[in-house]
Amino acid sequence: MVQFIHSMKKILLSLFICFQINAYSQCLTDHIQKQAELQYPSILSEKLNFYNNIQQFSNLSRATKYIIPVVFHVIHTNGPENISQAQIENQIKILNEDFSLTNSNKSAIRAPFVNIASDCQIEFRLAKIDPQGNCTNGINRIFNSGHLDARDEVKSIPNARWPNTKYLNIWVVSSIKENGSTGGTTLGYAYLPSSIGAVGSGQDGIVMRSDWLGVIGTGTVSGAGRTLTHEVGHYLGLLHTFQDGCDATNDYCGDTPPVASTFTNAGCPGTGNSCSNDNPNLIDQWENYMDYSSGACQSMFSANQKIIMHNALTTYSFRKNMVSSVNLIATGVTDVGNAPKAFFNSSARTVCVGELVSFYDNSCAGIVNSRSWQFPGSNTTSTNKDTPRIVYNTPGKYKVTLMATNNAGSNTLAVDNYIEVLPNVSPNKPTIQQGFENANWNVSTGWTVLDQLTSKLTVTSSVAFSGSKCLYAPISSAITDGQKFQLVVPSVDLRNLKTTGKLSMMLAYTRQNSASQERLRVYMSKGCSNTNWVLILNRSASQISYSTSAFTTTFQPVDKTQWKMISVSLSPYENDSNINFMIEIESGSGNAVYIDDINISQFNTDINLLEKSINLNVFPNPTSQNLTIQYQNLVGETEIWLENIEGKKIDVISENNTQTGDIAINWSSNNFIPTGVYILKIKANEQVISKKIIFAN
């Protein structure tokens, strides 16, 4: 019989943010626990009541297993955090192996623990019906910048939470916010079951880093899939094996020997025994999923842990309802003999010619016994495979049809223009320019605003660097820090540029104060699907501001001195025939950011445009031995020199000039310059302008 010790010290561990890395992550338990206890003091008494009333079972084996419907809310902005269906299915497979003791490494369980290693009789299935009664694949993709430095706020993103009485909610993010007092990396966290306040509803579930789900795709760390196994243990009421150190009753399980500290078993020591006060005195059970040992070493839940998890599924009404037969039917994870409702999705909706695209049958309402797919325009026009992989060799938009059938009937879903196939070589060649003057600038042009939020990149006619319009991110005190405003540039074939290509733009911005944290980023993505954006430029608020000392509560540029040129070299991609770029502005308690005259070419901007923007004037021309050079310096250093027609520098007129505003230079040559044609060059705002000068003596 398991001895469940009444200890208030234990119950203080009412809330867990826990994570597992091979050796050296940190736990934020105390920080989060105090927050929850301050807001909901009754959490403590509820947990105490749960552990004091654990029901023992005369027979640890149930006639049927518990089935838990699962939904993964993938929060993303089209980066690597938007993991594939295959990676999520791989994680579900790992969960089911671990909770049923069918994991491949169970044979490595050491002798003292073989007889207590347990089939927990718990199975996890991706939901097949969503809360509105529609078919789903159990993956809810939400475009939102909340995937960065996520915490509980991610659970309040619109449409990113399903009822916790029906589904295990798992939020997939790219990173989890750390507590400032600790180091390490948080990989996931879960609340213990509770019916109190938001902890019992809006916060119930698990937050996980995308790159620690499964062991395929981005889940490349050995044993990474065990992190979610660990977090589900907390979700079902389990504590750490190292809880309270060598207190023999640390986790309310008599069959898990106490462990001295968090990372005692990081290296999975063969005969390690960090505590000797348990009776009998056993070696540490680093095989247990609730330790912080390496995921590759972990291989078991104990019999006592199974009892606690089963109690959690029967004691708490929301857990009890979730595993009820009525809910299993409502969420589509069990069959009741109905005809299926056809539904499908795919690994991509936009692909290049010759690129593989996988299709998934996600039909619901009834188990599919057979299926018939139709893929007109592809290399496989029809098939009955479960998950066909299809190739399209001709650009165009194509219909996809699925007929799902069982003994009770059949149903067909046909979607016109479901797949868009693009050529491997982009039809767009430099120069590509955008000044936002045309009202239909983003209609079937490849220029795409990705923001799916109320506040998004918008064209304004109030200001512009050139013309009468520009694009701006309407950042103000009403905009949440971290919101991203994103613009995708049309695909481009860079191979025909004669010199190094550049992506440039004019940008106007200044900070509200020194704490403002707006950022400009530029990403690139090769191919057609734009699902793997790679960062190539990252500029801070001070770097994009037209002045490091100018602050204002609200900002709108009033003249060209408040615009700054931003340029990115495209030399790493000069051999790419199909490449996209994305411009991103991130809010950070500052001001609106204005963008104009985006340009992809061998120049930073159109030369004539830049020449006009700095109001360059050189006279007299022709001249004898002197020149007057007038221009407006927007920001940064300027240099001016004179070259002969062979490109040899013959005189430096001005260098390292940091003066801004209206500039006038009266120059006379120190040496006689023979009659002929010469080139005056001025470098300003990262662009070199050439001006032909005739010397006539």
Comparing 57-61, 136-140, 163-167, 431-435, the range with the smallest average pLDDT is: 57-61
Comparing 144-148, 353-357, 436-440, 531-535, the range with the smallest average pLDDT is: 531-535
What the block records as the tokens of 228 is: 């979610």
Q: How many CA atoms lie within 13 A of 1 on its CB side?
A: 7
CATH code of the domain covering residue 461:
2.60.120.200
What confidence score (pLDDT) does residue 270 get? 86
- Condensed to tens digits (0 to 9), the pLDDT of residues 444-489 reads 888 999 865 567 899 999 999 988 999 999 999 888 888 889 999 9
Does 27 have pLDDT greater than 70? no
CATH code of the domain covering residue 213:
3.40.390.10
Nearest Cα to 13, choosing from 247, 178, 176, 181?
247
In this prediction, residue 23 has a pLDDT band, given cuts at 50, 70 and 90, of: very low
Higher pLDDT, residue 234 or 10: 234
Comparing 260-264, 354-358, 642-646, the range with the smallest average pLDDT is: 642-646
287 domain residue, yes or no: no
In this prediction, residue 22 has a pLDDT band, given cuts at 50, 70 and 90, of: very low
What confidence score (pLDDT) does residue 24 get? 38
- State whether 383 and 241 are in the same domain: no
- State whether 84 and 98 are in the same domain: yes
pTM of the entire structure? 0.75
Q: How many domains does the chain have?
A: 4
Q: Which residue is it, tokens 């491949």?
A: 104
What confidence score (pLDDT) does residue 21 get? 40
What confidence score (pLDDT) does residue 197 get? 80
Mean pLDDT computed over 316-331: 97
288 domain residue, yes or no: no
What's the CA gap between 428 and 578, in Å, rounded?
Answer: 9
| Domain that includes residue 627, residue range | 614-695
What confidence score (pLDDT) does residue 292 get? 87
- How deeply is 55 buried, as exposed, middle or buried, from its count of CB atoms within 10 A (0-12, 13-18, 19+)? exposed
- State whether 605 and 633 are in the same domain: no
- State whether 70 and 187 are in the same domain: yes
In this prediction, residue 605 has a pLDDT band, given cuts at 50, 70 and 90, of: low
Helix, strand or coil for residue 189?
strand
What's the CA gap between 18 and 192, in Å, rounded?
Answer: 11
What confidence score (pLDDT) does residue 376 get? 97
- State whether 440 and 526 are in the same domain: yes
What confidence score (pLDDT) does residue 123 get? 98
Q: How many CA atoms lie within 13 A of 423 on its CB side?
A: 8
Active centre residues (catalytic): 231
Does 587 have pLDDT greater than 60? yes
Q: Which residue is it, tokens 């069982």?
A: 406
Helix, strand or coil for residue 232?
helix
What confidence score (pLDDT) does residue 613 get? 58
Alpha-carbon distance values, 105 to 47, 119, 223, 299, 343 (Å): 33, 14, 11, 6, 36
- State whether 351 and 308 are in the same domain: no
- State whether 548 and 453 are in the same domain: yes
- State whether 556 and 604 are in the same domain: yes
What confidence score (pLDDT) does residue 314 get? 95
Greatest mean pLDDT range, 116-125, 435-444, 492-501: 116-125
- State whether 418 and 442 are in the same domain: no
What's the CA gap between 316 and 328, in Å, rounded?
Answer: 17
Domain boundary among 555, 587, 609: 609
In this prediction, residue 2 has a pLDDT band, given cuts at 50, 70 and 90, of: very low
Comparing 1-10, 505-514, 595-604, the range with the smallest average pLDDT is: 1-10
Strands across the sheet containing 389-391: 344-346, 356-361, 389-391
What value does the mean pLDDT of the chain take?
Answer: 87
